[in-house]
């Protein structure tokens, strides 16, 4: 999965969830009209949970006409960010299960992801602590898994977290002042001090995955 809008097809991008799970997305563009007779558009793909032994979730994003009408278009350039953020939100809400093999999971991309009163997308609303943790995790996992720096003021992450790119870059600069990040422009890499927190990063990821798996095991009875 490349970084939306950066034009670099070779660069792998790790998208971290608010709960601390590092994900990559393989989305099979473009959207196509449902052949089942239902009135929605479909996009198939696969979400891979990185830093695991092959856990992934094949998904079918079902775009309702209500949300289709608020998108500028169904082109990848207009739809990719909101789709990724909707899927991240569903992972945060423990609605998506990761298995070594699994059947295609339908995921509704519906009006619950849009605030019509404010005329804007509605995914997460991160507080200061969550923004801090998210930034550190994003930089850490992009470095460890993808071997690259991470964007720290990207529009997709800002939309997901309900913040601004300016607030994100200011936070990254603060973390750089604490010796945790090295910031160059709008990207950051991990310092040795952050890399030394590998035990905590893996523990946070393990706790989030355990909570998700427990929820789905309960539902299966």
Residue 179: cis peptide before it, omega within 30 degrees of 0: no
Residue (of 123, 120, 184, 124) closest to 152 by Cα position? 184
Cα 209 to Cα 217: distance, rounded to the nearest angstrom? 12
57-81 average pLDDT score: 94
pLDDT per residue as tens digits for the range 185-208: 999 999 999 999 999 999 999 999
Asked whether residue 7 carries a pLDDT value surpassing 70, the answer given is: no
CB of 41 closer than 8 Å to CB of 63: yes
* CA torsion angle 58 113 162 87 (round to 10): 0
Return the bridge partners of 180, or none: none
Long-range contacts of 194-199, Cβ-Cβ distance < 8 Å, separation of 24 or more: 194/136, 194/139, 194/140, 195/140, 195/143, 195/144, 197/136, 197/140, 198/140, 198/144
pLDDT score for 221: 60
pLDDT per residue as tens digits for the range 17-65:
999 999 999 999 999 998 876 688 999 999 999 999 999 999 999 999 9
2 pLDDT more than 60: no
What pLDDT sits at residue 103?
80
Reported as half-sphere exposure (CB side, CA atoms, 13 A), residue 87 has a value of 34
pLDDT at 163 over 60: yes
Q: What is the pLDDT of residue 37?
A: 63
């Amino acid at each position: 999965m490349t970084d939306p809008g950066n034009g670099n097809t070779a660069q792998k991008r790790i998208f971290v969830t608010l709960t601390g799970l590092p994900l990559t997305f393989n989305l099979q563009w473009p959207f196509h009209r449902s052949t089942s007779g239902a009135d929605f558009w479909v996009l198939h793909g696969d979400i891979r949970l990185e830093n695991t032994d092959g856990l992934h979730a094949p998904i079918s994003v079902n775009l309702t006409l209500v949300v289709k009408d608020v998108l500028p278009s169904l082109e990848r350039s207009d739809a990719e960010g909101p789709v990724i953020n909707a899927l991240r939100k569903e992972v945060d809400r423990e609605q998506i299960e990761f298995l070594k093999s699994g059947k295609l999971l339908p995921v509704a991309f519906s009006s619950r992801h849009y605030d019509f009163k404010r005329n804007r997308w509605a995914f997460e609303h991160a507080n200061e602590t969550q923004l801090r943790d998210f930034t550190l995790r994003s930089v850490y996992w992009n470095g460890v898994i993808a071997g690259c720096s991470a964007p720290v003021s990207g529009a997709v992450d800002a939309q997901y977290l309900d913040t601004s790119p300016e607030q994100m870059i200011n936070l990254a600069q603060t973390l750089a002042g604490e010796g945790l990040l090295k910031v160059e422009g709008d990207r950051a890499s991990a310092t040795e001090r952050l890399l030394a927190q590998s035990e905590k990063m893996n523990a946070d990821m393990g706790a989030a995955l355990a909570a998700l798996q427990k929820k789905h095991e309960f539902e299966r009875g």
